[in-house]
């Protein structure tokens, strides 16, 4: 498509956008009494208006039924999480039995590593990406310490080549083969939080399995953002948060995936709790753990229903739209934003460097922009003028044009504000 940096062109794209109406499903903050341009859905999604209805249902049931809400609420609490199975499995490309919701992201990754990081004297190494999200780095360090290894011996980071911002697939694959029989686990972020690079999960998983390793994925920046086929890719396990692209609220519950090939493996260790116990016998309070068949068997405690309510509201919204529509708009609006950035750079003779891959198959709903010659002052200017974006050291802003609630007109106005911010020094 031949883009134009004009208001009329942006508005025309909005009239052709089948998802344009969904922006009215969300509540936008205001700055200077104007609705903001919101680019930080990769950190915290906006609040869906329907979330309040779902939370109010639980509050009313709690008020009117108290403990009986577990069984007699309109959506009974004891099986509330089961409502996620079908829509969430479609969202991540899984079987309904392979997904569940529980805890928070890093807690779930720790719990899954109980099952899938089983180091031995010979096979004990973990492969991850350089500059993984800090929480993952801390998790790896504490896990290998727990098993009696030193991080410098057990953790293998795949690095970027000098002068490059992204990790090459061939470097990942060669490192997997190099570590070989010492490799116990590959655990990488499906989308790198800093650059927005999307990794080839299918190929990496396949090559990891050839070396005899388990392969898991941190999908914090992937779920609700890219097309996932976790079952068909033969991924062993994965976990994701729900408050970024899934818009479930700050710090909210995590989702997780365990491939069905592991469901009947009685030898696979796990930390157990009563909500993972056989559903039909759970309230008999039996002394010996009998896990639920499927990912639900990794649950530990009964679920925080007030947290799950807005998550369910969002999951059902995603299900009614479908990932194909979201991805179609995601690709177009991200390309339009890229065009706007390049046009403004020409107009002001600026030096923006987009460090997210240009190849659409290696990126999703994020452009990370290195502000050569600019700095925190420009970020502060954007924030004061109604553009909520994200600053990352040393000199990067992350822009996520989320297809559910950003418009092409937003992209045009952002460009004009950006230009004024550069010229107004």
Model-level pTM?
Answer: 0.96
| Euclidean distance between CA atoms 257 and 230, whole angstroms | 8
Range(s) within the chain of domains with CATH label 3.90.1150.10: 7-48+323-423
Report the percent of the chain where pLDDT is more than 90.
90
Please give the share of the chain, as a percent, with pLDDT higher than 70.
Answer: 100
User: Is-contact 403 326, C-beta < 8 A?
Assistant: yes
Say how far apart CA 325 and CA 99 lie, in whole Å: 23
Containing 230, the helix (H) or strand (E) segment is: none
Q: Give residue 283's pLDDT.
A: 84
Least confident of 83-87, 376-380, 395-399, 410-414: 376-380
pLDDT in tens, 195-231: 999 999 999 999 999 999 999 999 999 999 999 999 9
Q: What's the Cα-to-Cα distance from 117 to each of 82, 185, 241, 344, rounded to whole Å?
A: 27, 6, 21, 48
- 291 φ, ψ (degrees, to nearest 5): -70, 145
Q: What tens digit of pLDDT does each residue of 311-344 get?
A: 999 999 999 999 999 999 999 999 999 999 999 9
Digit-coded pLDDT (tens) for 255-287:
999 999 999 998 899 999 999 999 888 888 999
Task: Summarize pLDDT for 341-360 with one digit per residue, the tens.
Answer: 999 999 988 778 999 999 98
Domain span(s) for CATH 3.40.640.10 in the chain: 75-321
How far is C-alpha 377 from the geometric centre of its chain's CA atoms? Answer: 29
CA atoms of 135 and 216, how far apart (whole Å): 16
Domain 75-321 in CATH 3.40.640.10: yes
Q: Which pLDDT score, from 0 to 100, does residue 372 have?
A: 79
CATH architecture of 7-48+323-423: Alpha-Beta Complex (3.90)
Average confidence (pLDDT) over 106-129: 97
> Rounded to whole angstroms, what are the CA distances from 194 to 221, 347, 363?
10, 27, 12
- The three-state (H, E, C) secondary structure of 58-111, written as one string: HHHHHHHHHHHHHHHCCCCHHHHHHHHHHHHHHHHCCCHHHEEEECCHHHHHHH
């Amino acid at each position: 498509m031949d883009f134009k940096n004009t208001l009329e062109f942006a508005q025309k794209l909005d009239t052709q956008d089948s998802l344009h109406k969904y922006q009215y499903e969300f509540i936008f903050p205001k700055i200077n009494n104007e609705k903001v341009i919101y680019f930080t859905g990769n950190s915290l999604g906006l609040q869906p208006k329907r979330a309040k209805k779902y939370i109010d249902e639980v509050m009313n049931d709690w008020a009117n039924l108290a403990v009986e809400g577990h069984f007699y609420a309109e959506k009974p609490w004891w099986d509330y999480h089961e409502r996620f199975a079908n829509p969430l499995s479609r969202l991540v490309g899984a079987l309904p039995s392979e997904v569940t919701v529980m805890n928070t992201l890093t807690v779930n990754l720790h719990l899954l590593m109980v099952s899938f990081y089983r180091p031995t004297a010979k096979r004990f190494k973990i492969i991850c990406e350089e500059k993984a999200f800090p929480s993952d780095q801390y998790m790896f360090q504490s896990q290998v310490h727990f098993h009696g290894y030193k991080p410098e011996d057990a953790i293998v980071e795949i690095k970027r080549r000098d002068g490059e911002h992204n990790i090459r697939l061939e470097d990942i694959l060669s490192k997997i083969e190099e570590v070989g029989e010492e490799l116990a686990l590959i655990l990488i972020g499906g989308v790198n939080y800093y650059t927005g690079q999307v990794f080839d999960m299918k190929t990496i998983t396949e090559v990891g399995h050839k070396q005899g390793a388990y392969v898991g994925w941190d999908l914090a920046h992937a779920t609700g953002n890219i097309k996932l086929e976790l079952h068909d890719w033969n991924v062993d396990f994965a976990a994701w948060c729900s408050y970024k692209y899934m818009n479930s609220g700050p710090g909210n519950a995590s989702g997780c995936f365990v491939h069905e090939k592991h469901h009947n493996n009685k030898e696979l260790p796990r930390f157990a709790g009563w909500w993972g116990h056989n559903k039909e016998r759970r309230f008999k309070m039996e002394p010996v753990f009998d896990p639920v068949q499927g990912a639900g068997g990794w649950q530990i405690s009964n679920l925080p229903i007030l947290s799950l309510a807005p998550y369910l509201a969002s999951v059902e919204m995603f299900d009614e739209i479908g990932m194909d529509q979201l991805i179609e708009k995601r690709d177009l609006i991200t390309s339009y934003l890229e065009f706007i950035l390049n046009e403004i750079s020409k107009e002001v003779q600026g030096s923006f460097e987009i460090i997210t891959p240009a190849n659409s198959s290696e990126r999703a709903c994020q452009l990370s922009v290195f502000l050569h010659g600019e700095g925190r002052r420009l970020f502060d200017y954007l924030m004061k003028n109604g553009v909520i974006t994200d600053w990352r050291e040393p000199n990067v802003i992350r822009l996520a044009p989320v297809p559910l609630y950003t418009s092409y007109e937003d992209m045009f106005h952002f460009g004009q504000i950006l230009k004024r911010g550069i010229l107004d020094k």
